[in-house]
């Protein structure tokens, strides 16, 4: 959704809308981690303007399909994340060649022109909220590293003892004397 800065009233602009999942899924296909948005992306935002600074606060929610990092099975989860985003005009910092940022300036993004496109902001927030590893359920045992059997379905026939790295096999013969 595109927001014209001049259209933001003094008390803020309340937005409740759905973003198309196809836009995000096109980007997710290139990611290669098997993430897909399966439901509409519900956005509930309050956009405020204070002088030249724009703040966007609210939350997003949708249903997402992941591939478990342990057992490689696809699963779905409802996701909800809060948004607290601050935008300042780019020209505010362009004039200064080099300076140290204050702690409150680290969470700031920039905009140019008179229109803000929320699609880019929502996409950025989505990726920042995604975990590095996706686990289908607590206690997922994953796959056997030798035969690839799904250990959630039951034990495999592989021996319990882990193979010893041949480079370290001599250490098994080492006897430590106790005093």
**90 or 58, which is more confident:** 58
Pairing of strands 74-89, 108-111: parallel
Determine contact, residues 29/95, Cβ cutoff 8 Å. Answer: no
Q: Supply angle C-alpha 25, 88, 125, rounded to 5.
A: 25
pLDDT tens-place string over residues 131-147: 889 999 999 999 998 88
Q: How many CB atoms lie within 10 A of CB 82?
A: 10
Q: How many CB atoms lie within 10 A of CB 136?
A: 20
How does the average pLDDT of the chain come out, rounded?
Answer: 86
Query: Quick one: average pLDDT of 38-63?
Result: 92
Determine contact, residues 75/107, Cβ cutoff 8 Å. Answer: no
Return d(Cα 42, Cα 30) in angstroms, integer: 23
pLDDT of residue 46: 95
pLDDT tens-place string over residues 83-125: 998 888 877 666 666 777 777 767 778 888 888 888 888 888 8
pLDDT of residue 161: 75
Determine contact, residues 15/44, Cβ cutoff 8 Å. Answer: yes
pLDDT tens-place string over residues 17-40: 988 888 888 888 887 788 999 999
- Reported as a pLDDT band with limits 50, 70 and 90, residue 69 is very high
Is the Cα torsion angle 112, 113, 115, 117 positive or negative in sign?
A: negative
**52 or 82, which is more confident:** 82
Helix 21-31 / helix 118-129 crossing angle, nearest 10 deg = 50
Return d(Cα 2, Cα 9) in angstroms, integer: 15
pLDDT of residue 32: 76
């Amino acid at each position: 959704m595109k927001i014209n800065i001049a259209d933001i009233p003094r008390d803020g602009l309340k937005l409740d809308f759905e973003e198309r999942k196809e836009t995000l899924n096109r980007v997710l296909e290139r990611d290669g981690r098997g993430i897909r948005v399966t439901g509409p992306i519900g956005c509930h935002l309050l956009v405020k303007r204070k002088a030249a600074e724009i703040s966007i606060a609210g939350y997003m929610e949708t249903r997402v399909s992941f591939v478990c990092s342990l057992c490689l099975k696809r699963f779905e989860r409802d996701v909800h994340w809060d948004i607290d985003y601050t935008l300042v005009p780019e020209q505010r910092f362009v004039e200064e060649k080099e300076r140290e940022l204050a702690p409150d300036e680290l969470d700031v993004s920039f905009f140019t022109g008179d229109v803000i496109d929320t699609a880019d902001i929502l996409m950025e927030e989505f990726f920042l909220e995604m975990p590095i590893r996706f686990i289908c359920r607590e206690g997922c045992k994953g796959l056997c590293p030798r035969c690839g059997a799904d250990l959630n379905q039951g034990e495999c026939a592989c021996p319990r003892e882990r193979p010893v790295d041949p480079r370290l096999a001599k250490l098994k013969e080492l006897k430590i004397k106790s005093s």
